[in-house]
Amino acid sequence: MAPLVVLVTVTLAARGLGALAIDPLGTWPAAVTAGLVAMLLVTASAHFARPRRAALVAMVPPRLPRPALLVTVTGVLEIVGAAGLLLPATRPAAGICLALLFVAMFPANVHAARASTGLRTMPLPARTALQVVFVAACLVAAFAG
């Protein structure tokens, strides 16, 4: 739930700053992009810091090799994606790649919900809806930002 709180809070704060004539944040897509960048930096930090990292490793479906490496790689990809969103030239590609990353990581959420392991903070239907919001934010950043 914390990632959603960060996404919404920073998006609203950015839009408020945009309303105060801070031009780079003057549109909703720009504000959503700012919120997404903040959210990605928060979520990426969990990939490297204890105790969240261990919970993320536990979420990786057992059929996938080297879960600790996968958690590290996805954390790095989130940071790289956040950086890519900051540059207009790379924003579309970053937004699309991040949307695909969220889709690719979704099986870990399914596994966690079914096995009652990892960061299982909400039931699968709610987690699915949340993932749709994250993918939508990525696509807003890619195509409307």
Strands (E), 23-113: none
**Residue 18 contacts residue 27 (beta carbons within 8 Å):** yes
Burial class (CB in 10 A: 0-12, 13-18, 19+), 13: middle
Distance CA 46, CA 28 (A): 27
Name the pTM for this structure: 0.91
Distance CA 43, CA 45 (A): 5
- Going residue by residue through the chain, which has 145 residues, state the pLDDT in tens, using 9 for 90 and above: 889 999 999 999 999 998 888 888 889 999 999 999 999 999 999 999 988 899 899 889 999 999 999 999 999 999 999 999 999 999 999 999 999 999 999 998 888 888 777 665 678 888 899 999 999 999 999 998 6
CB atoms within 10 A of CB 141: 27
Whole-number pLDDT of residue 127: 87
**Residue 40 contacts residue 87 (beta carbons within 8 Å):** no
Whole-number pLDDT of residue 37: 98
Distance CA 33, CA 91 (A): 9
Domain that holds residue 60: 2-143
Number of domains present in the structure of the chain: 1
SS3 content of the chain, % helix, strand, coil (to 5): 80, 0, 20
